[in-house]
Amino acid sequence: MESPFPGAQWFPDPHARHQHTGGAACPSQAVQGHSCIPHLPLCSSSRGYDGHSDLHVGITNSKGVVYNYDQEGVHRADRGWEQCIGIPLVQPDMAELLQQWDSLLEEFSLEETWLPHRYEEQQHNCYTFALTFINRIRQGRGREPLSKAQFTESFLIPHTREASRYLTLHQELAHKDFYIVPLPEQEQDSGAGNDNLLD
C-alpha cells in the first residue's frame, strides 16, 4: 500500500499502556485523547467502545484540546476524550507544521462550513470535519487529498480493528480467572496503520 505521507515515520504513542494477562503482555489500545502531540482521537460513547459502535472523531491541537464537530457546531474539549483510539498526525520530523498547527486548526474550525445548521448526521459530520482538515494540510504540503474510502481503509480500519481485537481479548480474559495488572508505560510499535497521514 502506498503511503499517503511519504517521508515521515510513525512514532510509538507515549500514552500507550500494557495490560498483563496471565503471563502475556497485551498493549492497551486506549490512549489519552488530550495528548499534546497532535493526533486524531476516536472515541465512542461513555459506555465504551464495543468494536461495533460508531466513533466520534476529533483533532487535537498541540495543547491537547480536542476540536470536534457535531450538531451544535465545533467544540474545543479539554476533557472527555480520555479513553480513545489515537492516530498520530504530526510526526517528529514535521517541526514546521507543528509550529503552525494550532493556528491552522483554529482558523479551520471558525469557517462557516462548520456552523451548527450545516451539520448532517450522514454526510457532514465529525468525520467530514477531520478528513477535510487533514486534506487541507495535505494539499498545503503538495499531496493529493484522500477520499473517505481511502482514509477509512488505510488509516481508520487498521486502528479500529486492532482495538477491537484487543477489547475482545481483554473481555475474554477479564471473564476468566485471570488478573489484569497494568505495567509501567512502555513504548510500543503496534504496526497498525503504519502509513503517514500528513506527509
Across 78-87, 108-117, 161-170, 177-186, which has the greatest mean pLDDT?
Answer: 108-117
The amino acid at 108? F
Specify the pLDDT at position 17. 36
Question: What's the pTM value of the predicted model, to 2 decimals?
Answer: 0.66
Residue whose C-alpha is closest to residue 136's, from 101, 93, 112: 101
Lowest mean pLDDT among 53-57, 135-139, 153-157, 170-174: 170-174
**Domains of the chain, residue spans:** 29-176
pLDDT higher than 80, residue 149: yes
Which of 26, 14, 9 shows the shortest CA–CA distance to 183?
26
Residues 6+ apart with CB under 8 A from 123: none
- Kindly list the distances between the CA atom of residue 83 and the CA atoms of 15, 102, 116, 141, in Å, as whole numbers in the listed order: 11, 22, 26, 31
Q: Is residue 134 very low, low, confident or very high in pLDDT (cuts 50, 70, 90)?
A: very high
d(Cα 76, Cα 61) in Å, to the nearest integer?
A: 10
Rg (CA), the chain: 17
Q: Taking 50 as the threshold, does the pLDDT of residue 44 lie above it?
A: no
Question: Is the pLDDT score of 18 beyond 90?
Answer: no
**Sheet strands (E) in the chain:** 18-21, 24-27, 39-43, 56-60, 66-70, 73-77, 85-88, 180-182
The pLDDT tens digits of the residues spanning 68-106 come to 999 999 999 988 887 777 777 877 778 888 889 999 999
